[in-house]
A and B are shown apart, each in its own frame.
Chain A
Amino acid sequence: MTIYNLYIFDRYGTLLYYGEWNRSKQSGMSIEEEGKLMYGMLFSIKSFVSKISPLDPKDGFSHYKTSKYTLHCLETPSGLKFVMNTDNQAQGVRDLLKKIYAEIYVKYMIRNPLCEMGEPIVSDLFKSKLDLFIKQTPIHTVRAS
């Protein structure tokens, strides 16, 4: 159960933060391009899912799964998107993302008047708290499987 990386986007598509813990293959493009690619994909897939869904969608797009990884997305009412790639055995990632939002983002970004909204996150405290949090989650164990 491993966490590979995390992206945080604001409502305009700006990549606010990117963190990686276990990524072994790089995408071969710069981080800004990767951010734009990710955001574009999320935007399209959300709108696709809401239109094509044969039932009434309750929460909208939540995650997609491939044979190698799962991508989870949490969208807050204020338009922030927390996107996390994990392996296929991860459980409760949505709650994990909610916790990251409530306990780390809100606490260290919103309550810090020196961090501008809409600007990439530079606060060291945010990075270290996030790192600590990720390493403490029970699902972040690197197993030699």
Chain B
Amino acid sequence: MADDIIFELLHSEIINYSIEKFKNNDNGEKETDLSVVEYIGFAAGYKIMERLTREWPRFKDELDTMKFICTDFWTCIYKKQIDNLRTNHQGVYVLQDNAFRFLTNFSNGHQYLEYAPRYVAYTCGLIRGGLANLCINSIVTAEVQSMPSCKFHIHVQRT
């Protein structure tokens, strides 16, 4: 029962630590460097994908992979599935989670909104890492308009 909270606490401390450690004092307060946190997520996602897809056959196409991310991947880490998946079939996917685990305890709307990006950076890295292991190179960004719901935008890079 207490296991979930350990991950949440560890996650928030990683973010606090990275922001303190890599704070660039020359810039103004608005710049917070989240690339470290994103990279930690990338490394974790890369490895966890190996573990999760152990028994699975190859995915038919990209959309199938995205569906896998929305269901099994998300369930494994956040104990629920993605609520909404949209795509334009040109390599852009939008995943919407209406009760994102790290944001549910913050507020029900707009309080603390400016701090929300910090808490989704790790997850962006996680998705990017997972996709990278499946040979899909992408750029993942997130958008939080009103807590606790959150949208992840995945742009697949086709060479």
Contact = CB atoms under 8 A, between A and B. Distances in A.
A112 interface: yes
B5 A113 contact: no
Contacts of A111: 5, 8-9, 105
Nearest to A124: B111
A44 interface: no
B-side interface mostly: helix
A144 interface: no
Interface residues of A, number: 10
Given A125-B105, A125-B106, A125-B107, A114 B112 contact: yes
What's the interface size class on B, roughly? 10 to 19
A125 B108 CA distance: 6
A107 B105 contact: yes
Interface string A96-138: 0000000000011001111000000001110010000000000
Contacts of A112: 105-106
Contacts of B5: 111
Interface in B4-59: 5, 8-9, 12-13, 15-16
Interface of A: 107-108, 111-114, 123-125, 128
